[in-house]
Amino acid sequence: MQQQKARKKFFKVNTIYKYFDEETESEYILEPSNEFKLDVKIDYNSKVLNKSNAKLDNINDFHDKISDARTFVFLHEIKELIEQGLIKGGNLNNAIVFVEDKINPKDLIKLAKIFDKKDIKVKEKGILNNVELRYDNEPARHKLLDVIGDLALCENHIQGHLKVTKPGHKSNIAFAKKLNKIMKKEAPIYDPNQIPIKDINQIMEMLPHRPPFLLIDKITELSDNHVVGVKNVTINEEFFNGHFPGAPVMPGVLQIEAMAQAGGILLLSTVSEPKNYLTYFMKIDKVKFKQKVLPGDTIIFKSELISPIRRGICHMFGQAFVGEKLVMEAELMAQIKKIN
């Protein structure tokens, strides 16, 4: 296991989100919390696998309390799984097989061949080959493990308390997709005390823009496919002298320009000597202004690639937030060209 250097991105839960899968009757409730917590309840309406639950209040406990919880299956499901070419790596050491009905001796012989065992027995608790549970609630712990694994599909780490009833991979993935859609509409978490990825001096080393037309103050996130930039709006901006006297509002076109400059950092990060390139607009589409931007506001620009960068052309979707409010969004296309 190796510690990664990349900064974690978090989705801070500020309200309650609910999801219910009618087909599986799986229920997900995500509530605000200062850290990630997970509660799982299982109920298979089974004679041998009772209702149970598992909790994880600290992700640091995952290794010692959750990671060794084995997968499980009901005996009547095994035949179908084998026919589908699944569970090839399954055995009675890494999986628990629950048996709800009596098995005739012939079937026990077949199972012994499947699992490469001399003989197979069923104990009173209905577990194949007398396998001992590592925990009384080991199946619930494994389902909790599954939920954590499936939530890795989410773009950001969750900072909230998730309560799940009757989880399964299908419903877990559906919930993760729902969260991803919510995350795309959420403002990035901005901590002004955090050291930026690029400060104003580093930005000026990449962008040719200079005051009063340099409209990005810092870059707080930067990856191969997204960028987050910050613009502090003050009454000292020259455009407020005429837009509008007595009622200052940041012009929408300058909001787009600021977003484009943040996107320019993403685009110029793909070349070895960015100072030798200029960035040009090719297209602006689907622009929506939703709230006024006023002196004293801090705008957070989040832009993500719509398609991979090719031949110096970048197509991205950008959003601008003030606090938690979305104030503007647009699709931008730009191209970098080397200065002759």
> What integer pLDDT is reported at residue 76 of this predicted model?
80
Cα gap 245→254, rounded to integer Å: 17
Query: Does residue 193 form part of some domain?
Result: no
> What integer pLDDT is reported at residue 7 of this predicted model?
64
Which amino acids are annotated catalytic?
A: 169, 243
Long-range contacts of 181-185 (CB under 8 A, 24+ apart): 182/11, 182/17, 183/11, 183/154, 183/155, 183/156, 184/155, 185/319, 185/326
Query: Does residue 42 form part of some domain?
Result: yes
Quick one: 166 and 243 in the same domain? no
Q: Please list, in sequence order, all residues whose beta carbon lies within 8 angstroms of the beta carbon of residue 126, skipping any fewer than 6 positions away.
A: 47, 48, 49, 98, 99, 100
Quick one: 46 and 143 in the same domain? yes
Query: Does residue 26 form part of some domain?
Result: yes
Domain count, the chain: 3
Q: Which of 103, 118, 133 is the last residue of a domain?
A: 133
Quick one: 168 and 151 in the same domain? yes
CATH code of the domain containing 243: 3.10.129.10
Residues of the chain with pLDDT under 50: none
Q: Which of 156, 188, 170, 190 is nearest to 30 (CA)?
A: 156
Contact 312, 269 (CB under 8 A): no
> What integer pLDDT is reported at residue 3 of this predicted model?
72
> What integer pLDDT is reported at residue 266 of this predicted model?
95
Alpha helices in 84-199 (DSSP H): 105-114, 138-151, 169-184
Quick one: 247 and 330 in the same domain? yes
> What integer pLDDT is reported at residue 5 of this predicted model?
67
> What integer pLDDT is reported at residue 101 of this predicted model?
80
Q: Which of 133, 154, 173 is the last residue of a domain?
A: 133
Quick one: 163 and 291 in the same domain? no
Cα gap 275→204, rounded to integer Å: 9
Query: Does residue 195 form part of some domain?
Result: no
Span 155-212, pLDDT tens digits: 889 999 999 999 999 999 999 999 998 888 888 889 999 999 999 999 999 999 999 9
Quick one: 167 and 30 in the same domain? yes
Cα gap 110→123, rounded to integer Å: 18
Query: Does residue 194 form part of some domain?
Result: no
Cα gap 340→337, rounded to integer Å: 9
Burial of 131 (0-12, 13-18, 19+ CB in 10 A): middle
> What integer pLDDT is reported at residue 94 of this predicted model?
80
Query: Does residue 267 form part of some domain?
Result: yes
Please give the radius of gyration of the chain, using alpha carbons only, rounded to the nearest integer. 27
Quick one: 156 and 117 in the same domain? no
- In terms of residue numbers, what domain contains 93? 73-133
Quick one: 206 and 322 in the same domain? yes
Cα gap 267→282, rounded to integer Å: 14
Quick one: 148 and 244 in the same domain? no
Quick one: 147 and 34 in the same domain? yes
